[in-house]
Amino acid sequence: MPLDLSVPASLVTALLPDLIVMGGAMALLLWGVWRPEGASGRPVGVGAIGVCLAALAAIAGMAVQGITAGPGPIAIDNFRWATDAVILVGTILSIALADDYGRRAEPVAVESHALTLLAASGMMLLAGARDLILVFLGIEVMSVAVYVLAGINRRSARSAEAALKYFLLGAFSTAFLLYGVALVYGATGATNLTAIGSALAASPPGPGSMAVIGLALMLVGFAFKVAAAPFHMWTPDVYDGAPTPFTAFMAAAVKAAAFASFARVFMEGFGPVFVRWHSVLWWLAALTMVLGNLIALSQRNLKRMLAYSSIAHAGYLLVALVTNTTEGAAAMVFYLFAYTLATVGAFAVVMALAEGAERPQDVREWSGLFSVRPLLAIAMAVFMLALLGFPLAGGMGFFAKWYLLQAALKAPAPQTRLAVLLVITSVISAGYYLYVIMVMFMRPRPADAAPFPDTPAWTRSVIVGAAVLLLALGLYPSPIVRWARSSSLQPTTATGVPSTPEALRITAR
């Protein structure tokens, strides 16, 4: 059923899942503030998860009905539904963690649930935006809510530091993005991605310098949001200082949304000038993989280690983007799903083992964890192996890397060197992922070690659920593979765009 997006009523239909989340966030905000003082926050948490489930149902309904639309401002395709689903799964898991966090550490206000939902609505808008103005709107709705979430722990100086750093640098990067949008509009006369694509494809000698500078500035904005080196400096400080549930939210959902929009803007809008951004993204991916993994090796603070690990994963995901193919986009969706489960799970274990207040946790404090908390140790081992991409015990993680490599090698311009680099840096990453497992399983528990706190019910379900899903889908990945494959994002190509590596190398000069 095709929708005519110039009619306001069809636009409302197209934005239905986003509107459910936005409306739910506002309703929860009012409900949260009207409830009696000191009441338990759990009903609000249940409500927030319910809103996410309703949005998921709307997405499933629209995907099943096969609703399509022309090249309007909002994309209605499987890529949007797939990334929305990844975002919502990450959001649900973080809300569950945040609820437990609020009950045992410093009270996190009910507002955090509403803010998480608002951020999720911005992410969903971002994932579906086919217009640069909407991309900007989505990024802002997402970021402003996440800045507040990073600093929601008002009594913690580290949380405030994280929020301020994130806010200042995030605003700075958004300015880059916006300036890029302005220049691209100046060069092509359009903000719609299809119109930009055809305008760029139509100019015979290639895009002018204004379009290329705009492209570069937008690249900086996106690279900041996905935490790609050399725009990653904020990541460890912010991830370390922010309350752990929201760190998980940032590492999973924010990254997924930013990557979805990154892929859509570059493949659909700037696909015809692939040769212009190919080598820049190539170096960005290579640098991010190498830097993220090497620095993570020397980290002993768990949250900082996971932060650098998330930078490294941004590098792997950039490889999918460099391919500029439908397969690359599908591999990215699959990878994002596996990565979301594994990284949220890992942060959930970190949260479960932190006593009350937030403080930096050293890996070595987990010595002998297996002897006191076998279940948590096993789950953490699954998450680490999934992030490493280990077969079988790592569940989906192995297939995620496998599809990424396959997409890189089978692209019209095969990224052989990047694929080799991906494998080498993955081997390097074993140095810190396996170290955590070694500490948990092989080191004895010191006799004078403080006991670990009990794991709250929701955190336990998040950990168990993520681990079981990772393992089950690792044994039987075909439904997710089919789902990711169907989420094809069609890159816009121009006639005469070189697709062989030789031609790429020549024109890129």
Partner 1 sequence: MVRAYFPLLLLFGFVALNAGLILAIGALTVRSRPTPVKSQPYESGIAPLGDARERFSVKFYMVAMLFIIFDIETVFMIPWGVAFRQLSCAVALTPAGCPAGQVSFFGLSEMLVFIGILLVGFAYVWKKGALQWD
Q: Could you list the residues that contact partner 1 (CB under 8 A)?
A: 8, 26, 29-30, 33-34
Q: What minimum distance in Å lies between the beta carbon of 185 and partner 1?
A: 17
SS3 76: coil
Q: Which two tokens stand for residue 51?
A: 């809103």
CA distance 353 to 475: 29
CB count within 10 Å of CB 104 equals: 16
Tell me 72's DSSP state. S
Tell me 273's DSSP state. G
When the beta carbons of 8 and 356 are compared against partner 1, the nearer one is 8
Identity of the residue numbered 371: S
When the beta carbons of 8 and 204 are compared against partner 1, the nearer one is 8
Q: What minimum distance in Å lies between the beta carbon of 145 and partner 1?
A: 13
Q: What minimum distance in Å lies between the beta carbon of 509 and partner 1?
A: 30
Question: Closest Cα partner for 91 from 61, 113, 75, 110?
Answer: 113
Q: What residues contact 439, with CB distance under 8 A and at least 6 apart?
A: 363, 364, 366, 367, 369
Tell me 68's DSSP state. E
Taken as a whole, the chain contains a residue count of 509
When the beta carbons of 26 and 427 are compared against partner 1, the nearer one is 26
Q: What minimum distance in Å lies between the beta carbon of 114 and partner 1?
A: 9
Q: What minimum distance in Å lies between the beta carbon of 30 and partner 1?
A: 6
When the beta carbons of 21 and 338 are compared against partner 1, the nearer one is 21
CA distance 492 to 346: 37
Question: Closest Cα partner for 149 from 93, 100, 109, 105?
Answer: 109
Q: With contact defined as beta carbons under 8 Å apart, do 490 and 75 qualify?
A: no
When the beta carbons of 185 and 452 are compared against partner 1, the nearer one is 185
When the beta carbons of 26 and 423 are compared against partner 1, the nearer one is 26
Q: With contact defined as beta carbons under 8 Å apart, do 21 and 127 qualify?
A: no
When the beta carbons of 83 and 116 are compared against partner 1, the nearer one is 116
Number of H helices, E strands in the chain: 22, 2
Q: What minimum distance in Å lies between the beta carbon of 427 and partner 1?
A: 50
Q: What minimum distance in Å lies between the beta carbon of 73 and partner 1?
A: 15
Q: What minimum distance in Å lies between the beta carbon of 35 and partner 1?
A: 10
When the beta carbons of 34 and 205 are compared against partner 1, the nearer one is 34
CA dihedral 169, 310, 125, 65 (to 10 degrees): 180
